[in-house]
Chains A and B, each alone.
Chain A
Amino acid sequence: MTIKFTEDHEWISVEGDIATVGITAHAQDQLGDIVFIELPETGAALDMADEAGAVESVKAASEIYAPVSGEVTDVNSDLEDNPGVVNSDPMGDGWFFRLKLSAPDELDSLMDEDQYKTYLEGLDG
């Protein structure tokens, strides 16, 4: 299993040709109390960086993007009634959707965990 990160603070965990996508602990902390999540439709074909949905906290709305290209195979419908799971377990039960990768090479352009940590440190300035 490989886990990669985007500059938009999403994580993508890959097993074979299926990837699970969510937002990072840093992202949920910045957003605060999450109250609504809009997920993509199962079956939707997304290109890398396409809008895939949105996450809304009490304070603000943020877009969710497809970290890489693929077809949506599953969405976490539990989030509809319990969006706060993204705050309490962003990297686990708070996952958003799964993709069947159509261009796995795109993963190479994303950050690994160490690179993401360095990226976060740079933001703290």
Chain B
Amino acid sequence: MSADQSSERHLKTTPLDTLHRELGAKMVPFTGYSMPVQYPAGVLQEHLHTRSQASIFDVSHMGQARLRGDNPAKAIESLVPGDIQGLPSGKARYTLLTNENGGILDDLMVTRTGDHLYLVVNAACKEADFKHIADNLGSGYDLEILADQALIALQGPAAAEVLSRFIPAARHMLFMTAGSFNWGDVSCFVTRSGYTGEDGYEISIPADQGEDITRILLGENEVEMAGLGARDSLRLEAGLCLYGSDIDTTTTPIEAGLTWTVNKCRRESGGFPGADIILKQINEGISRKRVGILPDGKAPARAHTEITDESGLEIGEITSGGYGPSVGGPVAMGYVNIEHAVPDTAVNLKVRNKLLPARVVKMPFVKQNYFTG
């Protein structure tokens, strides 16, 4: 249960490390960083507070970069199935880096801002992603890795009210839009986005200002800190994929239920890695699919739990699962054979050698609360 003490010394820290420790966070090793898994309030309270008020998550371990060059939107379309050329300046899109087999190398956010793109990728994949992008786009493109930027996510229904006290224009931003703002003399890059299913913002700030800005936000009545534990239970309830668990190089966007990320204009021409396989799956179907799984009882089913049909025959595996604090019971997602992927299909979950009844359900498990105007 305790962190490996010998490796603790080799862990990187985020610009908010001092603040986390001062607030009594339980720090754990995560993708090479020492990260707060929870604060003294605990995962349950942090989760519920995010859904009712607003929480700050330190996501500075994630990879941020700016891509410049001749038409970077067109260039990056050679690596992702999303419509990036059609993205107006100031708009963000969730997309995927795919490989030649149609598998997923990472999921990422791409925002067009003026003449360049702003990218946010997963911490565990960032070195590989940035090398992949730089190697494939070649010398005509400059990928500036923003190692000196902190990234905090302010998430929850009170997020807009709170942030607009400091950045008035934040109130009117729509979900998946972005802008540069001055907060006093600190320049911030703000995206109205997040990964909790709630309204909120991701705020990129110079590393040496990260702690000050976080302390200012924390000074507001509605705001508390929340750790990786709550981030995971929130995204699970919101039906959002965790890279490395729910999606990876062995799952295609179609199998993962992310067909919507293959934008219409990319479905004819292709031109992204694995397009032949991915487009064939759109047209001809798939043999397995990621679905929501709702256990009938109270026992949570964790990742790698076997899913069986009613006769006990294996039909798939849970990839993320646990207790959903807002649902008030267990929730899960996983892959099942396509004939069992229809909502309301009865399945069993093999938990501690017992078969527990569950149902395939539509996700999200809680209503998404995005600000779309």
Contact = CB atoms under 8 A, between A and B. Distances in A.
B43 interface: yes
Determine the interface band of chain A, counting residues with CB < 8 A from chain B: 10 to 19
Contact of A32 (B229, B298, B352): B229
Nearest to B299: A36
A56 B323 contact: yes
B233 interface: yes
Interface string A59-72: 11100000000000
Contacts of B325: 58
Interface in A23-48: 30, 32-33, 35-36, 38
A16 interface: no
A54 B323 contact: no
Contacts, number: 48
A60 B298 CA distance: 14
A81 to B, nearest CB: 9
B298 A59 contact: no
B302 interface: yes
Given A32-B229, A125-B5, A58 B47 contact: yes
B334 to A, nearest CB: 16
A36 B323 contact: yes
B1 A30 contact: yes
Contacts of B45: 33
Contacts of B1: 30
Contacts of A33: 42-45
Contact of A123 (B2, B229, B300, B323): B2
B230 to A, nearest CB: 8
A35 B331 CA distance: 12
A98 to B, nearest CB: 21
13 contacts: A33-B42, A33-B43, A36-B323, A36-B330, A56-B323, A57-B43, A58-B47, A58-B233, A59-B322, A60-B302, A61-B300, A123-B2, A125-B2
Interface of B: 1-2, 5, 37-38, 42-45, 47, 229, 233, 298-300, 302, 322-323, 325, 330, 352
